[in-house]
């Protein structure tokens, strides 16, 4: 398997430009200025995240499990990926910080352990917390 095309200059980090294409079978060469796909400009970490996200069909809980990261971290990486692909992210959307998420999660689990709520209610609350 060939080496992966890099999308950023290793010296100045600007986007690279493809100037030649070639066929490995007949040796035809085409020169010009060609745009690279949006994914070529992503970092290796962003590409890995995108692959895991797609493999898990966008299920954030599954991405959390596979990567061993929290819900807010998954959201943050997803939004960074969206920006890196050249799309805007709705800045008005309410985002829960890692600290706030952990605090609310702990409160739910404390209520469960004290018998204030049942297991099904705790699951419902935790799911609604994760879907924000």
| Per-residue confidence (pLDDT) for residue 92, from 0 to 100 | 41
> Looking at residue 95, what is its pLDDT?
53
Residue 74 pLDDT: 93
Burial class (CB in 10 A: 0-12, 13-18, 19+), 111: middle
Written as one string, the DSSP assignment of 14-78 is: PBP-EEEEE-TTT--EEEEEEPPPGGGGS-HHHHHHHHHHHHTTT-HHHHHHHHT--HHHHHHHH
Domain boundaries, the chain: 1-38, 42-95, 96-132
The residues of the chain scoring below 50 in pLDDT are 92-93
Q: Give 105-129 pLDDT, tens digit per residue.
A: 889 899 989 999 998 888 888 877 7
Phi and psi at residue 11, to the nearest 5° = -95, -55
Cβ burial of 63 (10 Å; 0-12, 13-18, 19+) is: buried
Per the CB < 8 A criterion, the answer to whether 112 and 106 are in contact is: no
pTM assigned to the model:
0.56
Other beta carbons within 10 Å of 69: 15
Q: How far is Cα 63 from Cα 58, in angstroms, rounded to an integer?
A: 8
């Amino acid at each position: 398997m060939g080496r992966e095309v890099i999308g950023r200059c290793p010296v100045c980090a600007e986007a690279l430009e493809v100037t030649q294409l070639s066929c490995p079978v007949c040796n035809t060469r085409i020169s010009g200025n060609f745009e690279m796909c949006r994914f070529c400009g992503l970092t290796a970490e962003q590409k890995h995240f995108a692959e895991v996200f797609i493999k898990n069909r966008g299920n954030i809980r599954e991405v959390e499990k596979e990567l061993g990261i929290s819900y807010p971290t998954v959201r943050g990486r997803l939004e960074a990926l969206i920006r890196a692909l050249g799309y805007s992210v709705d800045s008005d959307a309410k985002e829960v910080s890692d600290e706030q998420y952990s605090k609310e999660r702990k409160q739910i689990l404390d209520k469960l352990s004290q018998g204030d709520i049942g297991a099904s209610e705790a699951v419902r609350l935790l799911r609604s917390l994760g879907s924000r």
